[in-house]
Amino acid sequence: MKQTASIISVYTADVSGVASSLFELGGMTVMHDASGCNSTYNTHDEPRWYDHDSLVFISALTEMDAIMGNDEKLISDVTDAALQLRPRFVAIAGTPIPMMTGTDFEAVARRVEKNTGIPCFGLKTNSMHSYLSGASMAFEALAERFCDKKLFREKGSGLVNVLGMTPLDFSVNGSDASIKSWLSGSGFEANSVWAMGGTLDDIIGAGRADVNLVVSYDGLATARYLRETFGTPYVVGVPLGTDFSDALSEELGRASDTGEDSVSYDIRPDGWKPEAVIIGESVYSGSLAAAKWLQDEIAARVICPLETESGLLSPSDAMAMDEEDIVPLLPAGGIIIADPMYKPVCPEDCDFRALPSEAFSGRIYRKEILNFINSEIKI
């Protein structure tokens, strides 16, 4: 039956995606929920929690306030905390019960903003979509609220916005710094990284970038917004492995010249026969498939269990959201590259190669999450 997981994990939800994407920007994120979302997020999804005092809270919704539609308590509590802690912005994100009671997050945000003078936006998350959905909403809201619309694309400048970078896909293994180094070494410069290792001020200045690099699905909506607003072209792909990183930097140069958008990693030859399966987020997994092809001539099929678009997958790839859909796609005797928590449902005779993801297994395999940015793929 779909929707059941007899033994594997679940990807973290949209509300965690919101908090993760905004974590380093000096704002305050409020999860409108009873209890549990915040501790789940900071225990399993947020490797920066212990060492970085980012403001992520829960509203502690009660049965009575939910039934009575008492949004005043939420507005009052968020207002008080914002006035006490003075964040640069406030994001309020929903969970299942506010979805059921129809909480008007935009109205709540307007009231908080009026009370505090601090930019505030509401996000219609409900904990029933993946982190990619939440992070995508949050990045797009940031772009709409904060990017300086008076700026212009500086064509040929080599300035790049990196869109869609959170520890949920990249952990805290130095990948953000490696992307900046790779850009520098390829004749580009990071203008902003959304949102690891950067600041809100970087994001305010995103409009001047020459090209945008989308490194996960949650950066795509923002890339489209920036194209619409500033005319900035985008390239989709993660610089994994050395050969594919070179190819990706060429693609960035091409986008700078032509102004055309592209998905960089669909480079497997026609008629290829899959020898491996990669399970994971579409942009990272597609990039890994390309990198493995260029590095080892291993052709891999991507199985994406998360939100994506058909344009981010090749025709031979597959979307499969549930354990029941995924299992039949796993080849006996073949190579399977996936988070270790998928192993119990893989064929016993497969060549399983671990690719841990914070978004799936949380902190359990954190120390084994490797940084493959512009370096050899050792799986």
Partner 1 sequence: MLERIGQSPPEELTSVRARDAAFPSPFKSVLEYAPPARGTWNIVHTGMLIPQSHQVFICADGCLRGVVLTAAEMGTIDRFSSVSIREDNVLRGDMEELIIDGTADIIGKLPYKPRAVLIYTSCIHHFMACDLPRVYRILRERFPDIEFVECYMNPIMRKSGLTPDQLMRRQLYAPLKPRPIDGRAVNIVGNDLVTDDSSELVRLIKENGFKLREITRLKTYDEYQEMAEAFLNISTFPAARAGGDALSQRLGQKHLYLPFAFDYSEVEDEYTALASVLGCACPDFGPRIAEAEDALQRARAAVGGMSIAIDYTAVSRPVQLAKFLTEHGFAVTDIFLDAVPGEDKPSFDWAREHLPELKFHPTVHPAMRVRPRGGDETFLAIGQKAAYFTGTDRFVNMVEDGGHHGCDGIVKLAELIEDAAKVPKDARSLIQMKGLGCGGGCCG
CB atoms within 10 A of CB 350: 18
How far is Cα 376 from Cα 170, in angstroms, rounded to an integer? 16
Segment interacting with partner 1, rule: CB under 8 A, options 139-147, 189-197, 220-228, 361-369: 361-369
Q: The sheet that has 234-236: what strands, in order across it? A: 189-194, 159-163, 211-214, 234-236, 262-263
Q: Under the criterion CB under 8 A, does residue 126 sit at the interface with partner 1?
A: yes
Instruction: Sketch the per residue contact string, 271 through 310, with partner 1: x for CB under 8 A, - otherwise.
Output: ----------------------------------------
AA letter at 228: E
Using left for φ > 0, alpha for ψ between -120 and 50, and beta otherwise, residue 271 falls in left
Instruction: Sketch the per residue contact string, 57 through 96, with partner 1: x for CB under 8 A, - otherwise.
Output: xxxxxxxx-x----------xx-xx--xxxx-------xx
Residue 72 β-bridge partners: none
Q: Under the criterion CB under 8 A, does residue 363 sit at the interface with partner 1?
A: yes
> Of 90 and 141, which CB lies nearer to partner 1 in the complex structure?
90
How far is Cα 145 from Cα 124, in angstroms, rounded to an integer? 16
> Of 61 and 179, which CB lies nearer to partner 1 in the complex structure?
61
Per-position b or e across 32-60, b if 16+ CB within 10 A of its CB: bbbeebbebbbebbbbeeeeeebbbebbe
In the range 1-60, which residues lie near partner 1 by CB under 8 A?
Answer: 1, 3-7, 9-16, 26, 30, 34-40, 42-45, 47, 49-60
Give the shortest CB-210-to-partner 1 separation in angstroms.
31
Q: Under the criterion CB under 8 A, does residue 105 sit at the interface with partner 1?
A: no
Give the shortest CB-79-to-partner 1 separation in angstroms.
10
Phi (first) and psi of residue 55, to 5 degrees: -95, 95
Given 341, 350, 354, 355, the residue binding partner 1 (CB under 8 A): 341
> Of 134 and 239, which CB lies nearer to partner 1 in the complex structure?
134
Q: Under the criterion CB under 8 A, does residue 320 sit at the interface with partner 1?
A: no
Give the shortest CB-125-to-partner 1 separation in angstroms.
8
Q: Are 342 and 280 in contact (CB under 8 A)?
A: no
User: How many chain residues are in contact with partner 1, going by CB under 8 A?
Assistant: 72
> Of 26 and 253, which CB lies nearer to partner 1 in the complex structure?
26
Given 20, 116, 127, 178, the residue binding partner 1 (CB under 8 A): 127
> Of 35 and 258, which CB lies nearer to partner 1 in the complex structure?
35
Q: Are 318 and 304 in contact (CB under 8 A)?
A: yes
Return the half-sphere exposure (C-beta side, CA atoms, 13 A cut-off) of residue 76: 7
